[in-house]
Structure 1
Amino acid sequence: MGKNFLCFAVLLFCPISFYGQETDIMLPKPEKDSIYTKPTILPEYKEGGLKGFYEYIYKLYRVPKAFRGRERMMVVFVVDVDGKLTDIKVIKDIGAGTATEIIKVLKGSPKWKPGYNAEGKPVKTFFSLPIIISKD
């Protein structure tokens, strides 16, 4: 009975072992239009990095008259392979026209340096950006 149980256990676990080895080796390749969240090299604003990008925003952003207070909005976008910002969305809108204004500013942004994958090819990269708006 001991030998039969051992044979049964070996046969039971062999297919799992082979399947696990096969899936570890055969990884799917990213599709041509995949959007990366963690590329090997992150995208970068050409004129001073992230600090320069915030300076660009605060130079051009006009706080809507109806807004009062100090709040944080969250904006997401994709840095395309050519460095252009696309798919711009405000995911935390603080109202009073602030979302419309930030989208306008981001659409006019100069191109960024794109993100790169492990093969050194430029890739679309998802980017999120918190922005604090303040007006008394």
Structure 2
Amino acid sequence: MKNLYLFFVLFSTIFSFGQTKKTAVKLSVSKNDTLIYNYNTVQVKPEFPGAGNESMYFFFKKNFVTPQELIESKTTKKIFVTFVVEKDGSLSNIKILRGLSPDADKETIRVLKAMPKWLPAEQDGYHVRCLYAVPFSIPLDD
């Protein structure tokens, strides 16, 4: 009788696990909230809303107010930035890797903070934090 009871419990347990459905819903939390993934290692890369990088560069150029010292220099300048795209699409940990001047660096950070929320990176079906690096060409107003 014990064997029959044990068999029934074991069979029903195995059967119930086999009937669980996996949903395709993307979860917005992961098991590790502090881990920051590298851009090259995530399965789904973070993306600026709209047409991706093209929209991001357009947003930057439209909203960046070029400091006078850069306008007077009349040379094309690039500023290199890194930031973390958070699980909710916001940007954090904005850092200037190679700046041009204190004013240009501050303006770059201001524009990045003003960006709309991004589409976050995904890894194994979870939204994850992702490090993103990008160069911006500074628009020289005529």
Q: TM-score, normalised by structure 2?
A: 0.70
Question: 1:95 Cα deviation (Å)?
Answer: 1.2
CA–CA distance in 2 between the matches of 1:80 and 1:128? 14
- 1:121 aligned partner, one-letter code: Y
When the two chains are superposed, the root-mean-square deviation of aligned CA atoms in Å is 1.5
| Residues 1-136 of structure 1 aligned to structure 2 (within 5 Å) | 31-37=32-38, 38-67=41-70, 68=73, 69-95=75-101, 97-117=103-123, 119-135=124-140
Q: Is the CA contact (8 Å cut-off) linking 1:66 and 1:96 kept in structure 2?
A: no
SS of aligned partner of 2:110 = helix
Identity, % of aligned pairs? Answer: 29
Question: 1:134 Cα deviation (Å)?
Answer: 4.5
Q: Is the CA contact (8 Å cut-off) linking 1:75 and 1:89 kept in structure 2?
A: yes
CA–CA distance in 2 between the matches of 1:47 and 1:101? 23
Q: Which runs of 5+ in 2 are unaligned?
A: 1-30
- 1:132 aligned partner, one-letter code: S
CA–CA distance in 2 between the matches of 1:32 and 1:109? 23
Q: 1:91 to 1:109 in 2, by over 3 A?
A: same
Q: Which runs of 5+ in 1 are unaligned?
A: 1-29
CA–CA distance in 1 between the matches of 2:33 and 2:136? 31
CA–CA distance in 2 between the matches of 1:96 and 1:89? 13
Question: 1:132 Cα deviation (Å)?
Answer: 1.3
Q: Is the CA contact (8 Å cut-off) linking 1:64 and 1:96 kept in structure 2?
A: no
Q: TM-score, normalised by structure 1?
A: 0.73
